Amino acid sequence: MSQQIYINGEYFGRDDAKVSVFDHGLLYGDGVFEGMRIYGGKVFRLREHLKRLWDSAQAIALTIPISMDQMILDVNATVAKNDLENGYIRLVVTRGAGPLGLDPFRCSHPQIIIIADTIKLYPEEFYQDGLELVTASTIRNHPAALSPRIKSLNYLNNIMAKIEGLKAGCVEALMLNHKGEVAECTGDNLFLVRDGVLITPPVDAGILEGITRDVVLELAAQEKIEVREIAITRYDVYVADECFLTGSAAEVIPAVKIDDRTIGDGTPGPITRKLTAAFRKLVGQ
């Protein structure tokens, strides 16, 4: 069956799924989104993703025009229509079409788009052997300007850092915050292991509160691994025993090199492997 894309309660084939060129999502990045995984035909942590979507919308004063219960029904219906056992959901809410000019209040109909698809962010060998990172010179958005907690359609901050990473031959780049502390990567949260302790930057370091990050923190508690959510610097990454990244699309992926320094012994370490296995078990993969 061909792909069925949801727009405002109706389904369209891939070539017919279109939005207005006057949509402020396109014109200004004015909107919010979520990226979620489908495992075994079910959307993983759907309620948590929707909570974050609603919070992001609230932060930009965007009213999502349907209830959260209706959104759950619509997301699940889109998954069922596309007959996906394992896959990825992109849920987008834009400000909608309006006159040229920033004024969001002249856009009267927010657009809801649900795309069910597959995703393969990184090659399999990175999951086995680990990937390499580089620190971007582009810092993460200042929380008082555009909070990194808002998952908005304005991803240029991350894209600028991603360009730096790709130009340096790395698929991901580390981003620091305005204080020079480690924040996160362009599309993933970051974890370190040192002396058996799992370390990750706190939310006030200016990060997206990753759903996979939360899952890994829960798994670490179950595995009785000590966790510290503390501000860290690049030094801490350089001297870590292990490093890995988390994200809905990336899942859990080891990082073994940064800025030309080998992390630990240059292979995915035991705690990374333990948490990866626990994550895979949880999602039934």
Q: How far is CA 195 from the centre of its chain?
A: 28
Q: Which is nearer to ligand PMP, 184 or 242 (CB)?
A: 184
Whole-number Å distance between alpha carbons of 107 and 110:
7
Residues 138-177 vs ligand PMP: string with x where CB under 6 A? --------------------x-------------------
Across the chain, where does the E strand assignment appear? Answer: 4-7, 10-13, 31-39, 42-43, 87-94, 111-117, 131-135, 172-176, 182-185, 189-194, 197-200, 227-229, 242-247, 251-258, 261-262
Between vectors from CA 120 to CA 192 and to CA 39, what angle results, nearest 5°?
Answer: 85
Nearer to ligand PMP, 79 or 185 (CB): 185
Question: Would you tell me how many other CB atoms lie within 10 Å of the CB of residue 156?
Answer: 12
- In the complex with ligand PMP, the residue whose CB is nearer, 8 or 147, is 147
In whole angstroms, how close is the CB of 194 to ligand PMP at the nearest point? 21
Looking at residue 66, its amino acid is I
* Residue 247 found at the interface with ligand PMP (CB under 6 A): yes
Beta strand spans in 48-102 (E) = 87-94
Please identify, using beta-carbon distances, which residue of 135 and 212 lies nearer to ligand PMP.
212
Q: Does 212 bind ligand PMP (CB under 6 A)?
A: yes
Q: How many residues form the binding site for ligand PMP (CB under 6 A)?
A: 15
Q: Is 184 in the site for ligand PMP (CB under 6 A)?
A: yes
By annotation, the residues acting in catalysis are 151
Cα(101)–Cα(205) distance, integer angstroms: 33
Please say which residue, 113 or 250, places its beta carbon nearer to ligand PMP. 250
Q: How far is Cα 184 from Cα 204, in angstroms, rounded to an integer? A: 12
3-state SS assignment for residue 16: helix
Binding-site string for ligand PMP from residue 87 to residue 106, where x marks contact by CB under 6 A and - marks none: --------------------
Report the residue from 75, 211, 240, 271 that binds ligand PMP according to the rule CB under 6 A.
211
* Selected range binding ligand PMP among 10-18, 183-191, 231-239, 262-270, rule: CB under 6 A: 183-191
Chain positions contacting ligand PMP, by CB under 6 A = 35, 158, 184, 187-189, 208, 210-213, 246-249
